[in-house]
Amino acid sequence: MWEIIWKAASVYFSCMLKFIFGPLGGYAYGFTLLATILITVAGMMSVVLLLTFFGNWIREKIVSIFYKKRKKFTVNSRRFVTIWKKYGLIGVAALTPIVLTPIGGTLLAVSSGSPKEKIILYMFISASVWSVIFSSALYFFGNEILKYLPDYAK
């Protein structure tokens, strides 16, 4: 019982950092397709909810302690502005699981001043769709996909 909880928690927390770790972990641990999808979506949405409601506070109170003299125009900030101008909130939500991390995509959406309800809705739709796609691909074609990985990654 505790082993299953531990495995599910590791998939959940790793998915909070990088979305693709959810389907990979669920597949590796032998969870069902539905369980993998639910854990993956829950992991991403936890970060989205946390940063949507507390992102500005975290940036003002915690980040400012470590970065007192922050540059306003850095390579990353310019990259975020370019992504935002090109794709908007829907595009950022769609790109978050595959290109950005849940943390990066949510911070980008929050810092743009988008309504919280829209951020949560679009990120939930994106997480659900990409979780079904990634998880289904692994569960139905996993052996075919994984045989192309280098030996050190297996």
Q: Is 95 exposed, middle or buried (0-12, 13-18, 19+ CB in 10 A)?
A: middle
pLDDT reported for residue 13:
93
Phi-psi region of 30 (alpha: psi -120 to 50; beta: other; left: phi over 0): left
The tally of domains found in the chain comes to 1
Q: Spell out the per-residue pLDDT of the chain, length 154, in tens.
A: 888 889 999 999 999 999 988 998 888 898 999 999 999 999 999 999 999 998 777 777 766 666 666 666 677 677 777 877 888 889 889 988 888 889 888 888 888 888 999 999 999 999 999 999 999 998 888 777 667 666 655 5
Q: How far is 141 from 152, CA to CA, in rounded Å?
A: 20
- Report residue 91 CA to chain centroid gap: 14
Q: Quick check: helix, strand or coil at residue 71? A: coil
Under 8 Å between Cβ of 101 and 93: no
In angstroms, the Cα distances linking 32 to 13, 27, 41, 139 are 18, 8, 14, 9
Residue-range definition of the domain harbouring residue 40: 2-153
